[in-house]
Chain A
């Protein structure tokens, strides 16, 4: 059983829909992350939250809106997405965002298909 849980595992949405991805970590960590994994591209960091505060937004379009209500939960709200946004979205957590030695642990990912 993973310490980082993502729901839903699969999501199909239309370009005008609004949906959300949810992530929960049970590891007592303080930092949470969203990564995007597309075919033929390295993993791309999207957002970083450290103690509920957003510390990094990697030039992500505003149609992706993250929310971190507490250190254990992270959401990615999706609105008016494009087909090229179809990808695997991976949530991750670590003890803290600012130390190289803090290993990042990943969830199983949410497969998003935009039609």
Chain B
């Protein structure tokens, strides 16, 4: 069975600084994707970034980037130049052919 683990229940960062959220996963499948979703107080789950497992190059989306270490099954999210609007729950997710499995989430607080 696939599992996704986020070991940091809460994180905080000063506005304009950089923060890294950790995620590890376990799977025996070879074809999968990894995602980071953001859930602000409105509770809508918003896609932040995605990574194809077969690609070695780390995905980047503006201020958001990932560090994908396939052998270590690690998929961390780096947020640069943190903004107040980045405050939210962040969920790491693994997607195979049949399932999307979420981690427990990390609550990110941005300090002004």
Taking a contact as CB atoms under 8 Å apart, the answer to whether B98 and A56 are in contact is yes
Task: Name the distance in Å between A2's Cβ and chain B's nearest Cβ.
Answer: 6
Contacts of B91 in A (CB 8 A): 43
Q: Nearest Cβ in chain B — how far from A25, in angstroms? A: 14
Chain B 60-107 residues near chain A, CB threshold 8 A: 91, 95-105
Q: How far is the CA of A36 from the CA of B94 in the complex (A)?
A: 17
Known contacts A56-B98, A106-B44, A108-B44; A101/B33 CB under 8 A? yes
Interface presence of A45 (CB below 8 A): yes
Cβ of A13 under 8 Å from chain B? no
Tell me whether A100 and B96 are in contact (CB under 8 A).
Answer: yes
Interface residue from A42, A45, A106, A111 paired with B99 (Cβ < 8 Å):
A45
Are A103 and B43 in contact, CB atoms less than 8 angstroms apart?
no
State in angstroms the CA–CA spacing of A88 and B105 once bound together: 15
From A88, A92, A100, A107, residue with most partner B Cβ within 10 Å = A100
Cα separation A46 to B52 with both chains bound (whole Å)? 25
Apart from the given pairs A103-B33, A108-B44, 11 other A-B contacts in the complex at a CB distance below 8 Å? A2-B44, A45-B100, A88-B43, A92-B45, A100-B31, A101-B52, A103-B47, A105-B47, A106-B37, A107-B44, A109-B45
CB<8 Å pairs between A and B, sample of 11: A42-B105, A43-B91, A45-B99, A99-B97, A100-B31, A100-B33, A104-B100, A106-B37, A106-B44, A108-B42, A108-B44
Q: Which residues of A contact B (CB under 8 A)?
A: 2, 33, 42-43, 45, 48, 56, 88, 90, 92, 97-101, 103-109, 111
